[in-house]
Chains A and B, each alone.
Chain A
Amino acid sequence: MPRESVMRFLRLGLFPHIFCAGCGHGIALHAIIRAFDSLGYDPKDIMVVSGIGCSSRISGYINANTLHTTHGRALAFATGVKLAKPSLKVVAVMGDGDCAAIGGNHFIHAARRNIDITAIVLNNYIYGMTGGQASPTTPHGAKGSTAPYGFIERQFDLCNLAGAAGAVYVARATVFHIPQMEKFVKKALEKKGFSFVEIVSICPTQFGRRNRLRSPVDMMNWLKDNSVPVSKAKEMSQEDLEGKIVIGEFIDKEMIEYTELYRELCKAALREGASEC
């Protein structure tokens, strides 16, 4: 059971949740609200925005300001909310297809602007809700309902993508590495600017059963056995890293944030406007 102080972040009226037995998303949800709790956030100051998919139902379960939007658009809606109410702590929770396929454009541009939003992707390597279709993060060779012969495309590395696009904090954890996941979410929430945490989740229902990882335990063992800390990964060859999940922090840097820049712009516009009059 979650600790008492964490429960205030849940809309218990909406339970039971829609997640399948063995889904990893509940573990991630718990880590996110534990992070809120241990940082002492007030639910009325938190804004959770999501897109479409299993992961995106998380916004409904969190007892804060919540916005469940259209497929892929969480960050675009979140950008509007954050600019209109910069005092809100804005978190976007997305899935892998949601963020990296249909929402890919919003993802790279939110990162490029360095707007103060924490983006969390629950990456289960598959479109779960719609029935196990391959996603941009499906591993090469893995099977999905639209990849019955194995997925021939290359897998997207979302942390590399976020970093290249300009995110100021980038980290990856898995739902097996629970304390680390919570730590990264906390650091991302406290970071000023666009922060990104990829949480590798498990979907035994849609991914596991097509890929010889039928039970949740199989999938958890798979996460445990295939995860490599970023420090160790640096000493490994590209070949040895094939099929591994590199976990840890990739980027942690300081850079001026977008809504602050916008406030400066307004001041300049007012000065200019006044001098014109």
Chain B
Amino acid sequence: MGKVAFWQGNRAIAMGAIAAGIRFYAGYPITPSSEIAEILSGELPKVGGIFIQMEDEIGSMAAAVGASLAGLKSMTATSGPGFSLKQENIGFAIMAEVPVVIVDVQRGGPSTGTPTKPLQGDFMQARWGTHGGFPLIVLSPSTVRECYDLTIEATNLAERFRSPVIILSDEVIGHMRERIEIPDDSEINLIERKRPTVSPENYLPYRADPEDDIPPMAAYGDGYRFHVTGLVHDELGLPTNDPKEIEALNLRLIRKFEKGKDLLAKYSTFAVDDAQVLVVAFGCVARSAMGAIREARKMGYKVGLFRPIILWPFPDEPLMRMASNVKTVIVPEMNPGLMVREVERAVRGKCEVHSLIRLDTEIITPSQIIEKIREVA
């Protein structure tokens, strides 16, 4: 067992980043994520890593992508308004296949919204925020320990898939303090991006390995000279207008996640074996849902929890399997009703789906969820 600490979620993310091998952080101050930058400004120099406070959110995202291309595992963190600004270069990282981790500690929105209070309104923005509609990976922690673990996992997935990976936290998880057992480094498994095995003369920066559809990645300055662009490109990395080459790249950017889908199904369940009612919740709301289910069970309701940990790709298949065995699904969420759409799509009419939303920036309580259970069970 490792050390025990009493940390807030934002600290767990920052320290998880150090453990994950993140050695570059670029950011811009924004509530409620700023502690991540503050902590890393102190921690990164101690491990020879780089911290830079950029002039804006767009520049932070750009610098993180640039540093990753030069070989460092890199990260940035923000909240809603800053997340909107980062979308431009998140799209660049999708197109150019650059590993990078983006933390979004959600607050209330739209616009400036409620900087110090939580909502979960970026559920869709995380997936669809950048133009083009191409896939990326989104993880959602519900505990402080999970902030630590999922930061390591996000970094590993970014390296493995050569993709931006988003950690969708929220103000509750970010600022909540909790007892955390910090795992020893020996318990942590780190994944490094695939490096080219060919000589620089024979290196094609965007020729993917057929088995996983992911190209090996050289770093700038390591002797491999190559071109990276946000334009559609051929295997040499050079711009192309040939419809065949355009289609080949576009399809591969989707297919690489399909081929690796076993690594991308991550969820947890509680009391689902005999459940007639399934609560589907993520982030801070999943904590209330746990409390609600324990109480409702005592009252005789057969209720279980399904909590997606990887939010995107959305866990269609496991949810569909579970939906076949229940009468009703309840989706409590602190946004205008976003995840419920995905749940409805995934269960394909196999059961009823009920939405429970709360928009006053107070966390959904267990009693609200119990009330809904009584109403629909």
Do A and B make up one complex?
Answer: yes
List A residues at the B interface (Cβ < 8 Å).
11, 13-14, 43-45, 47, 49, 59-60, 63-70, 73, 76-81, 83-85, 87-88, 105-106, 108-109, 262, 265-266, 268-270, 273
Q: Are A83 and B24 in contact (CB under 8 A)?
A: yes
User: Cβ of A76: which chain B residues have Cβ within 8 Å of it?
Assistant: 54-55, 58-60, 62-63, 66
Task: A67-B220, A70-B92, A83-B52 given; name 10 further pairs at CB < 8 Å.
Answer: A11-B238, A67-B66, A73-B58, A73-B88, A76-B63, A79-B63, A80-B64, A83-B50, A84-B66, A85-B219
B180 interface contact, C-beta 8 A:
no
Give Cα A268 to B226, complex, Å: 36
- Which positions 60-93 of chain B face chain A at CB distance < 8 Å? 60, 62-72, 74, 88-89, 92
Query: Which of A47, A49, A80, A81 is packed against the most chain B CB atoms within 10 Å?
Result: A80
User: Cβ of B67: which chain A residues have Cβ within 8 Å of it?
Assistant: 80-81, 83-84
B231 interface contact, C-beta 8 A:
yes
Give Cα A105 to B46, complex, Å: 30
List B residues at the A interface (Cβ < 8 Å).
24, 26, 42, 45-46, 48, 50, 52, 54-56, 58-60, 62-72, 74, 88-89, 92, 200, 219-221, 223, 225-231, 236, 238-239
Q: Are B228 and A269 in contact (CB under 8 A)?
A: no
Give Cα A67 to B63, complex, Å: 12
User: Cβ of B56: which chain A residues have Cβ within 8 Å of it?
Assistant: 105
Name the one of B46, B70, B225 contacting A80, with C-beta atoms under 8 angstroms: B70
Q: Are A80 and B74 in contact (CB under 8 A)?
A: yes
Give Cα A265 to B51, complex, Å: 11
Q: Are B46 and A78 in contact (CB under 8 A)?
A: no
Which 4 pairs between the two chains have the least Cβ-Cβ distance?
A80-B66, A269-B45, A80-B63, A76-B62
Q: Are A77 and B225 in contact (CB under 8 A)?
A: no
A44 and B70 in contact, given A80-B65, A266-B48 (Cβ under 8 angstroms): no
Give Cα A80 to B46, complex, Å: 19
Q: Are A68 and B229 in contact (CB under 8 A)?
A: yes
Q: Are B45 and A80 in contact (CB under 8 A)?
A: no
Q: Are B45 and A270 in contact (CB under 8 A)?
A: yes
User: Cβ of B50: which chain A residues have Cβ within 8 Å of it?
Assistant: 83-84, 262
User: Cβ of B48: which chain A residues have Cβ within 8 Å of it?
Assistant: 266
Q: Are B238 and A60 in contact (CB under 8 A)?
A: yes
User: Cβ of A64: which chain B residues have Cβ within 8 Å of it?
Assistant: 225
Q: Are A47 and B220 in contact (CB under 8 A)?
A: yes
User: Cβ of A262: which chain B residues have Cβ within 8 Å of it?
Assistant: 50
Q: Are B66 and A13 in contact (CB under 8 A)?
A: no
Q: Are B70 and A269 in contact (CB under 8 A)?
A: no
User: Cβ of A269: which chain B residues have Cβ within 8 Å of it?
Assistant: 42, 45-46
Shortest Cβ distance from A276 into B: residue: B46
Name the one of B89, B219, B238 contacting A70, with C-beta atoms under 8 angstroms: B89
